[in-house]
């Protein structure tokens, strides 16, 4: 069941996306994180009497950990922020400075399907906007239930409700990448009737993250009832512009209880739930954090050594403190998801990567996970096949608005070892992912050509695209 819930390829995409998105644009992201915490904090306050004590807590899929920082500082709870991406958790230290926070959660890179936590040991597990990134949502719920002590609470918020009134013609992008006609329809409350996932799942799908937006309100309710005898729900119905307002009023009028249940089925929205595990148990609140963890490989106890690394008491597993984060993924997953400076990866968050680059690159720019190098008309690079077999070449870049103002349709072409590998026509400003299968070889000489080119006076350089990552993945 766990293998179907999220593949290794999707996990790679998750790590890449969260590293890239967590603080790639600090001002915008900090505002976004603050807005999320306002919404999530309101849900928690509405149910505090039902939730009770939250120490120790675990947030799964925490990204930069902003909601965990809220739990620690506004709600006085102690616990863990976990995410597949160790880098996004490291970026969370910015929150301490920008928000003037006094407390921080313990930050661990962990897999939500294989948590390095003993059974029946936590009072609260929280999941924010992350369950829908698993094809088997129940697998995540079962793992959260396993680590919860009897009487503990599983809290999830901002999970999407599938809407019935939707043609599903295409995936709508985020607002910043919408075309003028899409923005107008969105403002009128009409875009949701023709396009799927107006929340912007197109960008994450482009990264390779799979979205599971098949759950209607009744499906979420059935899943909750199956595993938790007590729960409290909140439903937030989509209502953007006059189109959705009219439908919502009609739906409430025909609902026999005058509730939003019918409206949520017709228009979708999001759901939040606080679910209590059966039973009751006392949980110690003053244990050292390492005693609340277990080895992800053999499930034995962990201890801290003199260098503050987490070490297994039964096997050779060791997780050093790397920038405030302990990477507690299973050894096999860690090797694949965190290859380091490897010959089959060019990742500008790791530095300039000069040894793998040929002609055509401008200097390194950007911040945190969003580091990149501009190219003009063409650029060259070399990658090596370190795992053998046919490969998939993956290139991540960004198309600037100036690219679309030259009167020429923007195009990207990639040549590998002298042969044309593929072409991509760009139709939107913003992030793009280019993927193409390449035959087995020991070395790949890559040439990227882009047009049109443009200048930004008084800078005398020529530009086309900026690129942030290139890598080889075994072809599945």
| Residue pLDDT, tens place only, 328-344 | 999 999 998 998 889 99
Which conformational region is residue 304 in: left (phi greater than 0), alpha (psi within -120 to 50 degrees), or beta?
beta
Peptide bond into 433 cis (omega under 30): no
3-state secondary structure of 332: helix
List helix spans (H) across 108-235: 137-147, 180-188, 191-194, 201-207, 217-227
Whole-number percent of the chain with pLDDT over 90: 81
Question: Which pLDDT score is estimated for 200?
Answer: 61
What pLDDT is attached to residue 208? Answer: 81
Q: Between the CA atoms of 447, 410, 18 and 24, what dihedral angle is there, to the nearest 10 degrees?
A: 100
> What pLDDT shows up at residue 50?
97
- The string of DSSP letters for 75-106 reads S---EEEEES-HHHHHHTHHHHHHTT-S---E
**What are the strands, taking DSSP E only, across 1-87?**
57-60, 79-83
197: pLDDT strictly greater than 90:
no
Cα 242 versus chain centre, distance: 32
What is the arithmetic mean of pLDDT over 435-445? 96
- pLDDT (mean) for 190-211: 79
pLDDT, one tens digit per residue, over 80-91 is 999 999 999 999
Beta bridge partners of 79: 57
Residue-level pLDDT at 199 = 62
Nearest one of 130, 129, 183 to 10, comparing CA atoms: 130
Do the Cβ atoms of 112 and 130 come closer than 8 Å?
yes
Contact yes or no for 39/108 (Cβ under 8 A): no
Q: At what angle do helices 137-147 and 217-227 cross, to 10 degrees?
A: 30
What does the pLDDT read at residue 3? Answer: 44
CA distance 70 to 101: 9
CB atoms within 10 A of CB 4: 10
Q: Which residue has the higher pLDDT, 86 or 18?
A: 86
Instruction: Set out the domains of the chain in order of their start, with CATH numbers.
Output: 2-276 (3.40.50.150), 345-474 (2.60.120.260)
Residue in this structure with the two tokens 């490897």, named with its chain if needed: 342
Query: How many C-alpha atoms does 126 have within 13 Å on its Cβ side?
Result: 31
In which band, very low, low, confident or very high, does the pLDDT at 238 lie, cut at 50, 70 and 90? confident
What is the value of pTM for the model shown?
Answer: 0.90
User: Which pLDDT belongs to residue 32?
Assistant: 92
Q: Is the pLDDT of residue 429 over 70?
A: yes
Q: How many angstroms separate the CA atoms of 26 and 33, rounded? A: 10
């Amino acid at each position: 069941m766990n293998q179907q819930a999220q593949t290794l390829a999707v996990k790679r995409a998750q790590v890449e996306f969260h590293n890239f998105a967590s603080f790639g644009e600090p001002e915008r992201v900090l505002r976004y994180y603050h807005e999320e915490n306002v919404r999530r904090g309101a849900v928690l306050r509405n149910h505090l009497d039902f939730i009770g004590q939250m120490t120790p807590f675990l947030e799964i899929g925490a990204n930069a950990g902003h909601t965990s920082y809220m739990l620690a500082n506004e709600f006085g709870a102690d616990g863990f922020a976990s995410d597949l991406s160790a880098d996004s958790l490291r970026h969370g230290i910015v929150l301490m400075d920008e928000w003037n926070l006094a407390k921080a959660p313990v930050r661990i890179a962990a897999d939500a399907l294989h948590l390095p936590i003993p059974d029946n040991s936590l009072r609260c597990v929280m999941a924010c906007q992350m369950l829908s990134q698993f094809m088997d949502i129940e697998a995540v719920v079962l793992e959260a239930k396993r680590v919860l002590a009897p009487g503990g609470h599983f809290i999830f918020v901002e999970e999407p409700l599938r809407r019935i009134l939707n043609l599903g013609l295409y995936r709508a992008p985020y607002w910043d990448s919408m075309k003028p006609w899409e923005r107008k329809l969105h403002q009128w409350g009409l875009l949701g009737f023709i396009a799927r996932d107006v929340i912007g799942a197109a960008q994450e799908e482009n990264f390779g993250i799979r979205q599971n937006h098949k759950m209607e309100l009744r499906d979420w309710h059935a899943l909750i009832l199956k595993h938790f005898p007590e729960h409290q729900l909140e439903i937030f119905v989509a209502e953007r512009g006059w189109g959705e307002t009219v439908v919502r009023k009609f739906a409430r009028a025909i609902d026999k209880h005058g509730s939003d249940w019918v409206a949520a089925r017709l228009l979708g929205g999001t759901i939040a739930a606080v679910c209590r595990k059966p039973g009751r148990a006392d949980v110690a609140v003053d244990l050292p954090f390492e005693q609340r963890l277990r080895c992800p490989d053999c499930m034995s106890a962990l201890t801290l050594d003199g260098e503050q690394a987490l070490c297994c008491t039964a096997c050779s597993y060791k997780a050093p403190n790397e920038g405030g984060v302990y990477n507690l993924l299973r050894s096999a997953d860690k090797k694949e998801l965190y290859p380091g400076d490897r010959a089959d990866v060019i990742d500008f968050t790791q530095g300039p990567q000069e040894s793998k680059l040929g002609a055509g690159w401008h200097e390194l720019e950007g911040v945190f996970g969003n580091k990149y190098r501009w190219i003009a008309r063409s650029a060259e690079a070399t990658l090596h096949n370190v795992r053998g077999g046919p490969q998939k070449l993956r290139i991540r870049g960004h198309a600037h608005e100036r690219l679309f103002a030259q009167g020429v349709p923007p195009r990207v072409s990639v040549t590998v070892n002298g042969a044309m590998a593929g072409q991509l026509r760009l139709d939107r400003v913003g992030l793009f992912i280019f993927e193409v299968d390449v035959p087995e070889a020991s070395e790949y000489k890559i040439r990227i050509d882009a047009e049109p080119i443009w200048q930004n006076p008084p800078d005398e350089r020529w530009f086309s695209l900026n690129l942030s990552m290139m890598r080889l993945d075994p072809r599945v």
